[in-house]
């Protein structure tokens, strides 16, 4: 294991963008093999080369900046999917409504009948059946 430590000394290593490139490589490569599309295979190979280039790069400042730009783009997408998954898991006990005034999402318990909901952001009251 000491040889690996020596090899990676001063190199950038693995980050979120490298992992994403590697994950994107796998289905593209598999799809290219199954469909026999050379262009798709070339794109998959290019993703793998870029991934390993980033991992073994010594220009850590530039790789860190690339990863930061990727995360600025990626986190809104990830958070949107996380909210949707949370709502699906929470749908057994709660309902979600949008405030008619400010469009803020409001979570209310299920099974309470027709209730008055007060928006926590703009304090607008509205009636909905839960």
Please write the tens of the pLDDT for every residue from 50-65. 999 999 999 999 999 9
Q: Specify the pTM.
A: 0.69
Q: What is the pLDDT of residue 57?
A: 92
Rg value, the chain, Cα: 24
Q: What sign for the dihedral angle of Cα 44, 50, 55, 60?
A: negative
Note every long-range contact of 24-28, with CB atoms under 8 Å and residues 24 or more positions apart, other chains counting.
25/51
Mean pLDDT value across residues 98-118: 90
């Amino acid at each position: 294991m000491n040889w690996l430590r020596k090899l990676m000394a001063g190199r950038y290593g693995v980050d979120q963008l490298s992992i994403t490139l590697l994950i994107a490589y796998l289905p593209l490569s598999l799809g290219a093999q199954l469909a026999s599309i050379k262009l798709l295979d070339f794109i998959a190979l290019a993703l793998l080369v870029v991934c390993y280039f980033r991992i073994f790069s010594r220009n850590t400042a530039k790789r860190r900046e690339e990863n930061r730009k990727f995360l600025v783009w990626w986190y809104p997408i990830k958070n949107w999917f996380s909210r949707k998954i949370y709502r699906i898991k929470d749908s057994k006990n709660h309902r979600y409504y949008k405030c008619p005034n400010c469009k803020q999402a409001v979570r209310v318990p299920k099974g309470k009948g027709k209730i008055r909901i007060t928006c926590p952001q703009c304090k607008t009251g509205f009636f909905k059946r839960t």
